[in-house]
Structure 1
């Protein structure tokens, strides 16, 4: 295994595969904060050269967090299809990249090989891809999942309707969700981020969502994005729940900082299989985001792209219905500006898809970042072309509860139009029945929330 190279008369020597992975990463403020980033552009190129020539077996033998010290590593390795891994272990990272991008390599071939890839291998190939490579690679991978409807089918683009409210006022939430549905958002999920993480409050919102969905016969799924333990207690008390949510990290320590272990998720899975109000069989909704492990000192000296990839290795074990990266939410400490956010969004989408996940992206930014709405719309267009399964939809793209900006209700139809995609099939039929859309175009009735008050 070679960890040394010479460029422009200078020799670069790296101490480990973990260091090569970190320094091959595109520039990220979070990696600089962690002290693992390449110090110069030339050092980054040197790391990429070495990484591209490492074999998949080299990476297999050097996980970022040791197997016997971390339950996420253990889960990723125990889930690996060793027959497939042994077929490809002699490939270099560069050969894996060329194979994925080869126009003779199709969706089914990629999905099969992905079962023999660890998360670090997927992070590695991502680091030697350009932005266009990530768009092309992501677009080739079609991943579907089913809760009440099917997400990810070719030619569709879905949206999570996110009617957040500063006090979880039920009337305020109701107005936002009515408007969102009237614009054609909500086919991925009707999902609220709660202010009040109590069993009673979460249960009240879930009941309201379920009643509205049933009254208007909306083909979608519902979720309140409270802590997994709060949702579990709400379900035990009879709250109707289609999806179980949890934010996840790429290490055991990171997940413990989020207040759960893998056993917690296994218990939640068993509970959902018994009590979920959805058809299934996919009952989980996971969110991730580059930098979360560093924020809890749980990154184990690894870079944020590698740790993000490990989130997806965890997620695929539980066969979720939805996964999305909240790409610009943590702030400039981890992704400084629009260039870094754009790169991270494309990386995360591609890595999620290569893990076999139904991947969405919250194309977003915070007000103290060097980014604006045009930057996020640019990212959303790139991701729509890359085959992103779904985006967020928030009133005017401004989340008054979480204090961040992302894609709004109006962007749903615009992004579908520019990408030539449609809502989830059953949802589009419902929109036609409601008079919101005809022949793929919004009617004058679209955006009129009062249709639900008559």
Structure 2
């Protein structure tokens, strides 16, 4: 297929589908660092003109990493529903964009078509959308999952209670956990990033969080975000694991840099279904982020957005309860400033939902990025308006262990109030029952962690 167009008297030709996809991407410092970005805005527009006319079948036939070389590519290809694919393979990328945005296209229709898409197709249509397009399209799509409670229902916004501590102090984490609960943070998960990845330390945190859940009869799940092999060993020893976590990436080489493989995640998912204390049927939790493959020199010359989309196409194999992009965590080397971080957050959220993933976002940035708290809050509003499943809840929005800036415990309540959203339904009922929530809003008791020490 000839990938060429003439724009304002200049002819632009792209040698491969991979190059075309990279040149059509919004500006990203990581793609520029890799030497694959468009050299000018004109070249970027030309690439989009060409990409809009590419049939979906061409994208399936030309994955950015060949199937014979990469297990991620194989998982994605094997996961395609051939019946649905046969119906849409003749569509162009532009056709897919127009169909998704059409007023007559609803969530059920999109969810069905998503079964015939690969990550490359999802990335391609994303590159043709504006930020508002991404918000509107994502808002249409409903992906509902259940573990101990229900995430993804329209009109809800969950919050991960993230009470990290630089030394994994059980008492310190418990205190921060209570503060988050008092604001209504923790309905998606009580999730701790451990400083110590050992089985003993992780088990202590699992025991403590499960004790809090049991004592207060909280309809949520716990998770300690250690390496998946540590969590698997905790499960084998009988520790109370609610969700099993792992960071994953868009190529086999990048997965290997995380110390994981498709087979290992298969094993972890089977172990979770057998031993997690939660109801299920969805037990997995994944985190992602544009730039992860490039940072491991495992991008195979492909752009950040395509590799991110491939993660979601692989992740649906395990029916995760929740996935989030840690959008600004990798740093300005990959997403330079607030403009790039905002765009990436909206891209990732849309791509996850289009793929059929229960999708949230860690709205965040590192301290050396060109971004501010206001930029972070702007993206949080946009994602909540787009139907995001959940955001993070971090004490004061400043993670003392991971040393980055994220959303605070009170940001989810503020977004719920501003946009007419609710906590996850089982959690909302629990908050009403203990007096922290009434008539769709927090009560005067909210925000004071001593609430949990006086009863």
TM-score, normalised relative to structure 2:
0.99
Per the alignment, residue 116 of structure 1 pairs with 116
Q: Does 2:447 match 1:420?
A: no
Worse-matched range after superposition: 267-276 or 342-351: 267-276
1:68-123 deviations in Å (ceiling 9; x for gaps)? 11000000000100110010011010010000000100000000000000110000
**Contact map agreement 1:114 1:355 (CA 8 A) in 2:** yes
Per the alignment, residue 371 of structure 1 pairs with 371
Per the alignment, residue 430 of structure 1 pairs with 430
Q: Using the TM superposition, give the Cα deviation of residue 143 of structure 1 relative to its aligned residue in structure 2, in angstroms.
A: 0.3
The 5 Å alignment of 1:331-350 reads: 331-350=331-350
Per the alignment, residue 68 of structure 1 pairs with 68
**Contact map agreement 1:219 1:427 (CA 8 A) in 2:** yes
Distance in 2, matches of 1:275 and 1:237, equals 10
The 5 Å alignment of 1:203-282 reads: 203-282=203-282
Per the alignment, residue 150 of structure 1 pairs with 150
What SS is found at the alignment partner of 1:409? coil
Per the alignment, residue 191 of structure 2 pairs with 191
Per the alignment, residue 98 of structure 1 pairs with 98
Q: Using the TM superposition, give the Cα deviation of residue 2 of structure 1 relative to its aligned residue in structure 2, in angstroms.
A: 3.1
Per the alignment, residue 139 of structure 2 pairs with 139
Per the alignment, residue 86 of structure 1 pairs with 86
What SS is found at the alignment partner of 1:163? coil
What SS is found at the alignment partner of 2:360? strand
Distance in 2, matches of 1:24 and 1:338, equals 20
The 5 Å alignment of 1:162-181 reads: 162-181=162-181
What SS is found at the alignment partner of 2:25? coil
Q: Does 2:321 match 1:321?
A: yes
1:137-160 deviations in Å (ceiling 9; x for gaps)? 000000010101110011111000
**Contact map agreement 1:422 1:428 (CA 8 A) in 2:** yes
Q: Does 2:443 match 1:443?
A: yes
Per the alignment, residue 401 of structure 1 pairs with 401
Q: Using the TM superposition, give the Cα deviation of residue 273 of structure 1 relative to its aligned residue in structure 2, in angstroms.
A: 1.4
Distance in 1, matches of 2:313 and 2:88, equals 18
What SS is found at the alignment partner of 1:2? coil
**Contact map agreement 1:2 1:54 (CA 8 A) in 2:** no
What SS is found at the alignment partner of 1:105? coil
TM-score, normalised relative to structure 1:
0.99
**Contact map agreement 1:162 1:190 (CA 8 A) in 2:** yes
What SS is found at the alignment partner of 2:410? helix
**Contact map agreement 1:139 1:385 (CA 8 A) in 2:** yes
Q: Using the TM superposition, give the Cα deviation of residue 173 of structure 1 relative to its aligned residue in structure 2, in angstroms.
A: 0.1
Per the alignment, residue 19 of structure 1 pairs with 19
What SS is found at the alignment partner of 2:246? strand
Distance in 2, matches of 1:59 and 1:50, equals 13
Distance in 2, matches of 1:393 and 1:10, equals 50
Per the alignment, residue 41 of structure 2 pairs with 41
Distance in 2, matches of 1:53 and 1:328, equals 32
1:399-431 deviations in Å (ceiling 9; x for gaps)? 011010111011111111112110011111111
What SS is found at the alignment partner of 2:45? helix
Distance in 1, matches of 2:200 and 2:258, equals 21
Question: What RMSD over aligned residues (CA atoms) do the two structures have, in Å?
Answer: 0.6
1:237-278 deviations in Å (ceiling 9; x for gaps)? 111011000000000100000001111111111111111101
The 5 Å alignment of 1:51-62 reads: 51-62=51-62
Per the alignment, residue 380 of structure 2 pairs with 380
How many aligned positions are there? Answer: 454
Worse-matched range after superposition: 210-219 or 432-441: 432-441
What SS is found at the alignment partner of 1:285? strand
Q: Using the TM superposition, give the Cα deviation of residue 440 of structure 1 relative to its aligned residue in structure 2, in angstroms.
A: 1.2
What SS is found at the alignment partner of 2:191? strand
**Contact map agreement 1:338 1:371 (CA 8 A) in 2:** yes
Distance in 2, matches of 1:211 and 1:57, equals 52
Per the alignment, residue 311 of structure 1 pairs with 311
**Contact map agreement 1:2 1:50 (CA 8 A) in 2:** no
Distance in 2, matches of 1:425 and 1:259, equals 36
Distance in 2, matches of 1:204 and 1:236, equals 15
1:276-331 deviations in Å (ceiling 9; x for gaps)? 10101101000000000000011000000000001101110100001000000000
